[in-house]
Amino acid sequence: MKKSLLLISILLLASCEDGAGVEEFVLMGLDTKVASPLGRSTKLKAKNVILFIGDGMGPNQVALARLSIGGSEHRLSFENFPITGIVYNHSTESLSTDSAAAATAWATGIQTINGFLSVDAERKFLPNIVELLNTKGYLSGLVATSSITHATPAAFYAHIHNRYEEKEIAKMLIESDISIALGGGAKFFDFSPSNESLHVIYKKESLDNNLLSSHPRVIGLFADGGLDRRLAPPTQLKMTEIALNFLAKKSLNCKGFFLMSEGSQIDWGGHDNNVKYMLSEFVDFEHSVQAGIDFAKENQDTLILVTADHATGGLILQKPIGSRIRSQWTTESHDLSPINIYAYGPGAELFSGVMNNTEIFDRILLALDYSNLDSKNCVN
Ligand SMILES: [Zn+2]
């Protein structure tokens, strides 16, 4: 469904002053697509992994997006995946996780305290999946529509007990094993001449496969902070396509690659109790997943995972009035909904059932047969 149609379809009816109980009506969409389910992989092990994170994307965000795009018969791209699971996401000392603790769980397999990035509850360094895979000849990339130093991407390269130290976190990205990082956050970075192997871009026009492929490492910063759609920054889709192309080319002589691509602002729409904002971010996220699916169809040793860190906004969906779905936000914070995981490609079966978010890390390594990978470095 076109974004303009989506906007028209949303009618704000009432809101409460404290934010809780904000009610919005969303018109059921007509762009119904029912693709046939994607089949199970016959391959035993995955080579590449693409992890899509919809920050704040609880089950009701998914349900509302589906209904608002194409109604009850519609299926989102990742709803055609052969395997689904349910993820619990509590952090150390809190039932309600933040993005930092959740991303640390996927990146390291260890539960930690909210606000901590790839350090444990005692603030000790935890090796992350990017670092582990790097020793086995893998390349890694990150995409986010927030600043690239924001909690979710940061857990894949930073080790620090305060997610808000974004200048420190930016230094850690420069020093990290990440080959390509695309998002916002320019104000946190200070590049020195010693970073000469790093190609830094600030304009979306520079997102060109041929221009980028001659550089060993790329950081793209398209806003001071998070990407502001009103200024027409690159979409998550565009950044994901570029990162996929870059990693696929560079990893020809490597073991494979790991890419994390985050729809960061689905969460911000939830915090704002703003359905229109949440859904427009969701649409870009879903297009990005579709790009991943297209890649995986061509490269069948690619495992795709789609999940979230937590749900945001306590979104509940009530009986429709006519073709208008009554959606209510019940908090401006994260809520306790378990979240979904969708898996496609070799190793997808490992993601069936109920799991803790820390187990996603373990299962990715199993899908890659990590313990049997030798330590050859990658030549690129
Ligand atoms: Zn949040």
How far is ligand 1, taken at its centre, from the CA of residue 192, in Å? 32
Instruction: Report the CATH number that the domain containing residue 103 is assigned in CATH.
Output: 3.40.720.10
How far is ligand 1, taken at its centre, from the CA of residue 63, in Å? 19
- The amino acid sitting at 69 is I
How far is ligand 1, taken at its centre, from the CA of residue 347, in Å? 30
Nearest to 317 by CA among 42, 64, 112: 64
At 36 the pLDDT is 81
Who surrounds ion ligand 1 at CB < 5 A?
267
Nearest to 179 by CA among 157, 194, 204, 206: 157
How far is ligand 1, taken at its centre, from the CA of residue 28, in Å? 26
Report yes or no on 84 lying in a domain.
Answer: yes
How far is ligand 1, taken at its centre, from the CA of residue 53, in Å? 13
Report yes or no on 379 lying in a domain.
Answer: no
How far is ligand 1, taken at its centre, from the CA of residue 311, in Å? 8
Q: How many domains does the chain have?
A: 1
How far is ligand 1, taken at its centre, from the CA of residue 119, in Å? 20
Beta bridge partners of 292: none
Report yes or no on 132 lying in a domain.
Answer: yes
How far is ligand 1, taken at its centre, from the CA of residue 360, in Å? 20
At 380 the pLDDT is 60
Exposure string of 171-195, with b = 16+ CB inside 10 Å and e = fewer, is bbbbebbbbbbbbbbbebbeeeeee
Is residue 69 within 8 Å of 1, Cβ to Cβ? Answer: yes
How far is ligand 1, taken at its centre, from the CA of residue 39, in Å? 34
Report yes or no on 233 lying in a domain.
Answer: yes
Report yes or no on 43 lying in a domain.
Answer: no
How far is ligand 1, taken at its centre, from the CA of residue 100, in Å? 10
Report yes or no on 44 lying in a domain.
Answer: no
- Rounded CA separation 115/277 (Å): 25
How many CB atoms are closer than 10 A to CB 306? 30
Question: Which distant-in-sequence residues (6+ apart) come within 8 Å of 337 by Cβ?
Answer: 58, 59, 60, 310, 311
How far is ligand 1, taken at its centre, from the CA of residue 216, in Å? 33
Residue 328 belongs to what domain range?
3-35+49-370
The pLDDT tens digits along the chain (380 residues) read: 444 444 434 444 334 444 557 889 999 999 999 878 899 988 889 999 999 999 999 999 999 999 999 999 999 999 999 999 999 999 998 999 999 999 999 999 999 999 999 999 999 999 999 999 999 999 999 999 999 999 999 999 999 999 999 999 999 999 999 999 999 999 999 998 777 789 999 999 999 999 999 999 999 999 999 999 999 999 999 999 999 999 999 999 899 999 999 999 999 999 999 999 999 999 999 999 999 999 999 999 999 999 999 999 999 999 999 999 999 999 999 999 999 999 999 999 999 999 999 999 999 999 999 999 988 777 66
Report yes or no on 173 lying in a domain.
Answer: yes
- Rounded CA separation 254/266 (Å): 34
Report yes or no on 41 lying in a domain.
Answer: no
How far is ligand 1, taken at its centre, from the CA of residue 301, in Å? 33
How far is ligand 1, taken at its centre, from the CA of residue 271, in Å? 7
At 20 the pLDDT is 58
Q: Let me know if 295 is exposed, middle or buried by CB neighbors in 10 A (0-12, 13-18, 19+).
A: buried
pLDDT tens for 42-64 read 888 999 999 999 999 999 999 99
- Rounded CA separation 373/375 (Å): 7
How far is ligand 1, taken at its centre, from the CA of residue 374, in Å? 38
How far is ligand 1, taken at its centre, from the CA of residue 183, in Å? 17
